[in-house]
Chain A
Amino acid sequence: MVPVAALTGLQKVKYIYNNRLDRVKELKSEGKRIIGYLCSMAPLEILEAAGLVPFRIMGSPQKGTASADVHIETNMCPYVRNCFARGLEGEFGFLDGLLLSHTCDSVLRLYGLWKYHLDAPFTHCVNVPHTISEPTIRFFREEIELFKEKVEQYAGQEISGPALRASIELYNANKALVKELYGLRKEDPPLISGTEMMETLVAGLSIPAREFNQLLREVKDEVITRPPKLTKKPRLLLHGCIMDKTGFVSLIEKCGAKVVMDDTCIGTRTFWNEVATDGDLLDGLIDSYFKKFQCPRTYRGRSLHRFDYLRQYATDYNAQGMISYIMRFCDCHSLDAPDMRDYLRELRLPVLIVEDDYTEGAVQSLRVRIQAFIESVTEISV
């Protein structure tokens, strides 16, 4: 087998994607402390600034949820149950801690059970309000401060202003590079497929931010120099809940479309908001992780204009339709679905909404509906 160090670009991405624990385990053996996290409403920049390594916890659809089902009811989010099952089975035994934020009901409750069963030296939950107002912003600011102090205590070092700034700049570079790569999807055909993009992001969230930046540069160099694909295909926007495997995107692309843009957790929601560094750094973090963080769990008013960013994505990336992927029992996404559908219909942007339960079989069963949808999009475009 070729050693990973000898790989570059998309080959390296594929390797890391398939062996996502390798690098953090290596770092762990070098004495680094690794903190697992899920969802992104708590600033990882603070962990990084204290010399800790953030690692995004993910599930494994093929392994099922049996070990978690003993502790969590099966009518809760299947993704959360899957991640907890991996935790209970010891897959993340190398973690020195856990950072969750109160994103949705399932994640908040997972926090309690995780701490109860798998407590680690650093376990913390950042509480995130559901509405944006002066008092809730004040509250979130204090949450970030409390989180920072707890990290400092655990890491045994104060996080200085310059260290936090450097960390924010590192993550900003990360986000900027991801955006650049997304920019290449505006081409027709796009220079990088949705599947490759997702593989890259998943791989990147499994290694330190600095290494991810390097990887992104390599991927970019590779995709702009490889011979372009010539066949044009319908261009789709992908919306929805957490997806951390390429199964669904790749199914869409195998069915004959290209995923050119997304509104998903491991996608724009994580990478779209650089943190402003020209003022108070905390203000920057609040903007990026709370005020601007795009997730239906936050109340953004009663108007259908709350979906305007989707129109913007579709326009900027020239998408001809949208597929929305909703995790079963995800209340935030489910309740928004009819409003969102109506909004897109008004724009005459075809939309397909599917529900999934994060099992391998379920994705395949969606093939026929996806094919039919792509055909209908093609007809409309013609």
Chain B
Amino acid sequence: MVTSSSEFAKPIRHTDAAKSVNRVLKDWYARSQEARAKGAPSAWVMASTPPEILEAFDIQAVFPENYGAVSASRGQAVHYINIAESEGYSPSICSYCRNTLGYIQERQQLKAEPPDAPLGGMGDPSMLLSVSLCCDIRIKWFQTLATRYLKVPIHIMESLNPPYGLDMTDERIKKHYIDVALAELRSLVAFLEEQTGRKLDERRLKQVIANSLVARRLLYQTYQLRKAVPSPMPSEDAFACVVPYLYMRGTSFAVDFYQKLHEEVKERVEKRIAVIPEERYRILWVGMPPWFNMGIFNYLESLGTVSAIESQYYMGTPIEVDPEKGLQALAEIAWLRSVEQHRQGAEIAPEQSGPSGDVAGLPVSLVESFARDYKVHGIIVHLVQSCRIISFGQAHYKNVLRERLNLPMLSLESDMSDPRLWNDTEIKGHIKLFIDVLGQRKGTTAVKQ
């Protein structure tokens, strides 16, 4: 196995909930493998395909995006990325995608699961499910998988979002977007009914949607608790704790997980159990994390700095819809999420909301309010080279936030899954200088100039 040589490769998490996520992942992959062995329907799924629907159909799903992060954090991504590049895939393509293409190529050459495949590998799916939310890659990636490697049925769900500047109070626009979202949800359901030979269990779906709304609310409340000083839960924990939300939020397991997380963080706030006992500075992390070097957050902590909040994987305010509406409820969630995004400025986050309310990229005013509400002293912007969509807007954030807030900002460049773009010495140097700047400002938090 190719292992990372970085001193940041092994992160230390703080909350019990975050520490349990590795186990959650292992169990999840093991469950999918078992299900596949029994011939149950299984799928490779693009994140933001509504997990509520997968759950309602009992589909064992693995998510190649997640596998990109998993492979990176286990030091295996470079190996797969190299294979994909030797097949002709440009190094500029999303590293999650290159990771999958390398993995599947090796798997097919060996006609077996590669021995070093993290978590035992993704296995053979019986279908491919993608969704067009947020980037062109998502369609092309699954198209490539279906063309070259996996001769199983494929479904691509359209996710359409109102471009910046549209009048979101216009009932006609609302209908335009809800109608297409609902039609696309129905077409996904029809595809799954055909693949599984089972009708959608409406009652189950309603229950699952209700669960996912509870999970969202609990996660939101936990994020509110993270405003406390000293910070009870840092970004490296949050990046781990979104896993159940992103991929299994309709399950009662997810509800339990977020219930426990919420209680744990609440207790930490009450008892002032801090991430670092002497919290000197708090930062806002903008962008994706480097999955292969999550220990970078511990490094910040060793310098008295906690990453108190992050712009990525924020699930938004609780949404009030009636789960009894079933698919219509999911379409409404997507719309309401778009409305929320537009209210806060969608100029750089036009593809706001997936078919059940996931967002890719936050509006600038929301990031600004994070900086204020979480009382940060500075902002670290991590530009990941190969995910253009999440990186896009960071320059704009910087320009706007510079105008609105008086906070130092540091830009780091690497990637989410391709460690070849990371340089320990350089990154450490930049961070040290940045902390010095924070020191010179004697701990000033976000204030208007």
Contact = CB atoms under 8 A, between A and B. Distances in A.
Interface in B341-362: 346-351
B396 A355 contact: no
Q: Which residue of A72, A328, A331 has the most chain B CB atoms within 10 A of its CB atom?
A: A331
B392 A73 contact: yes
Given A136-B158, A142-B176, A112 B164 contact: yes
A332 B156 CA distance: 16
A129 B346 CA distance: 19
Interface in A70-89: 70-73, 75-76
Nearest to A102: B163
A122 B128 CA distance: 41
B399 interface: yes
A135 to B, nearest CB: 3
A105 B389 contact: yes
B388 interface: yes
A70 B92 contact: no
A135 B172 CA distance: 16
Contact of B176 (A113, A139, A302, A332): A139
Q: Which residue of B136, B158, B391 has the most chain A CB atoms within 10 A of its CB atom?
A: B136
Interface stretch (B57-65, B113-121, B143-151): B143-151
Nearest to A125: B163
A139 B156 CA distance: 16
Contact of A105 (B89, B346, B388, B394): B388
Contacts of A304: 147
B156 A71 contact: no
Given A131-B156, A135-B184, A334-B92, A71 B399 contact: yes
15 contacts: A108-B350, A111-B164, A113-B348, A127-B162, A131-B158, A135-B180, A135-B187, A138-B179, A138-B180, A297-B136, A302-B146, A326-B90, A332-B136, A337-B90, A338-B148
A73 B395 contact: yes
B383 interface: yes
Sort chain A's interface into a size bin: 35 or more
A113 B136 contact: no
Contacts of B391: 73, 75-76
Give 8 nearest A-B pairs by CB, closest first.
Answer: A135-B183, A335-B140, A302-B146, A112-B347, A338-B88, A125-B163, A112-B164, A116-B347
Contact of A76 (B89, B388, B399): B388
Contact of B160 (A112, A127, A328): A127
Interface of A: 69-73, 75-76, 102, 104-106, 108-109, 111-113, 115-116, 123, 125, 127, 129-131, 133-136, 138-139, 142, 146, 296-297, 299, 301-304, 326, 328-329, 331-332, 334-339, 341, 353, 355
Contact of A334 (B93, B184, B347): B93
B1 to A, nearest CB: 26
Q: Which residue of A109, A146, A297 has the most chain B CB atoms within 10 A of its CB atom?
A: A109
B399 A70 contact: yes
Contacts of B147: 302-304, 339
A123 B350 contact: no
Given A73-B383, A111-B164, A135-B183, A335 B395 contact: no
Contacts of A296: 140
Interface residues of B, number: 55
B211 interface: no
Contact of B87 (A106, A127, A338): A338
Interface in B373-406: 383, 385-386, 388-389, 391-396, 399
Given A113-B347, A135-B180, A130 B392 contact: no
B401 to A, nearest CB: 14
B347 A105 contact: no
B447 interface: no
Interface in B115-174: 132, 135-137, 139-141, 143-144, 146-148, 154, 156, 158, 160-165, 172-173
B333 interface: no
Given A73-B392, A302-B147, A139 B160 contact: yes
Contact of A299 (B87, B156, B350, B388): B156
B132 A130 contact: yes
Given A105-B389, A108-B163, 13 more contacts: A73-B383, A102-B163, A109-B350, A115-B164, A116-B347, A129-B160, A130-B158, A131-B139, A134-B183, A135-B183, A136-B158, A331-B94, A335-B141
B89 A108 contact: no
A70 B397 CA distance: 11
A125 to B, nearest CB: 4
Contact of A111 (B90, B137, B146, B163): B163
A112 B137 contact: no
A335 B89 contact: yes
Nearest to B140: A335
Contacts of A331: 92-94, 135-137, 140, 388
Contact of A71 (B97, B146, B154, B395): B395
Given A73-B395, A111-B163, A336-B140, A133 B180 contact: no
A144 to B, nearest CB: 12
B165 A115 contact: yes
